[in-house]
Amino acid sequence: MTRETDFEIFLAVVPGLEPTLCAELSEKGFAAPRPEPGGVTIQGGWPDVWRANLEIRGASRILARIDAFRVVHLSQLDKLAHRVDWKGLLRPDVPVRVEASCRRSKIYHAGAAAERVSKAIEAVCGAPVNDEAALCVRVRIEDNLCTLSVDTSGELLHRRGFKAEVNKAPMRETLAALFLREAGFDGVEPVLDPMCGSGTFVIEAAEMGAGLLPGRGRAFAFELLAGFDARAWRVMKAERSEQAATARSETRCFGSDRDAGAIRMSRTNAERAGVAAMTAFDITPVKELSCPAEAPGLVIANPPYGARIGNKKSLYAVYGALGDALRMRFSGWRAAIVTTDPALARATRLPFEPPGRPVDHGGLKIRLYTTGPLR
């Protein structure tokens, strides 16, 4: 971590939500974020890498791009990989794994490319290469351009470190945060998820309102890199946490579900995340929904799609009941649902605006459907 000049930092995101992540980065004060397929790129140094891992809710992983060069054959890759400052980046006592991908390039064998970079790492800095290592160097060769990156996150960033239990077909925290942003959540208004499952939407919204940083409770791969300053990291975490907490709101977030097990999971997860006082979870069927707060806010749900849970035909009645409850008892509230099927969205009979772009969720293409204030 001795590099003093700025470098490219790539924040990966579910394709289709690059502009939403870009907006989050701008809001958090990162200069000139630039969307590209599958993520957003910023320029910065190692403190920016640390802060992005700590603060950004929508990114799935954060890569530090450490070098790039053109290659057309393996011997050239071998030579140039030996010139990389691996000693300044990797520790000789920390194992590393190397993963490679090749597209539209003269070098087309990803395994051979990974092997050449692995041998260069071992020769230059002595770090052992192990396929099970937590620290990962990524080699991407595309159109004969080789980009070397280190994954600074380690475990995917949706693993905040607080969710002890999940239900079937869970929504990832990173995706939930982006959908909350797309639905216009401001961190202040009340939020209700009437099909809360393990509580992801509710807990994410409560954390945002409370000014709790998403990375506050977990470790990151950058802590394993050479030159990592543990004291400076502790100071940054404390300062950024204190700064974020100054914007704390009195947001109340609510979840309901017909399944008692889901409510138990949600309460446990909210307690672990430190937002139990801001959240309330109740066993309530969709058709019995009632407005949980005086001020209008946002109803957001990730109902079953039919492709993964249960029979799709039976879901039309569920979506219809949700729409009926919202139209009758949630005047002034906005609604947002995530689904794979426009026909299911139409079954609610809610006045949805044109949906967002399709995004991948567990192999399914889902879209967010939103309304303005209901009348």
Asked whether the predicted pLDDT for residue 35 surpasses 80, the reply is yes
Q: Are 204 and 170 in contact (CB under 8 A)?
A: no
32: left (phi over 0), alpha (psi -120 to 50) or beta: left
The length of the chain is 375
* Residue 155: predicted pLDDT: 96
Q: What is the pLDDT of residues 294-322, one digit of tens each?
A: 899 999 999 998 755 456 778 999 999 99
3-class DSSP state for residue 260? helix
Query: Under CATH, which number does the domain 173-211+249-370 receive?
Result: 3.40.50.150
Asked whether the predicted pLDDT for residue 1 surpasses 80, the reply is no
Average pLDDT, the chain: 94
* Residue 126: predicted pLDDT: 95
* Residue 251: predicted pLDDT: 86
Structure confidence at residue 168 as a pLDDT band (50, 70, 90): low
45-49, 82-86, 178-182, 247-251: least confident range: 247-251
The amino acid occupying position 353 is E
**What global pTM score does this model have?**
0.94
Angle separating helix axes 260-273 and 200-210, nearest 10 degrees: 20
Q: What letter does residue 49 receive in the DSSP assignment?
A: H
CA distance 183 to 181: 5
pLDDT mean over 224-232 = 97
Domain residue ranges of the chain, discontinuous segments joined by + = 7-151, 173-211+249-370
CA distance 327 to 174: 29
* Residue 5: predicted pLDDT: 81
80-89, 102-111, 355-364: least confident range: 355-364
Give the right CATH number for 7-151 from 3.40.50.1970, 3.30.2130.30, 2.30.40.10, 3.40.50.1820: 3.30.2130.30
Closest listed residue to residue 163, CA positions, set 195, 133, 193, 207: 207
Percent over 90 (pLDDT), the chain:
88
pLDDT mean over 207-217 = 95
Structure confidence at residue 2 as a pLDDT band (50, 70, 90): very low
pLDDT mean over 123-146 = 97
* Residue 165: predicted pLDDT: 67
3-class DSSP state for residue 137? strand
Count the Cβ atoms, other than its own, within 10 Å of residue 99. Answer: 16
- Which has more confidence, 307 or 232? 232
Asked whether the predicted pLDDT for residue 144 surpasses 60, the reply is yes
Q: What letter does residue 277 receive in the DSSP assignment?
A: G
Structure confidence at residue 352 as a pLDDT band (50, 70, 90): very high
Closest listed residue to residue 61, CA positions, set 190, 211, 220, 176: 220
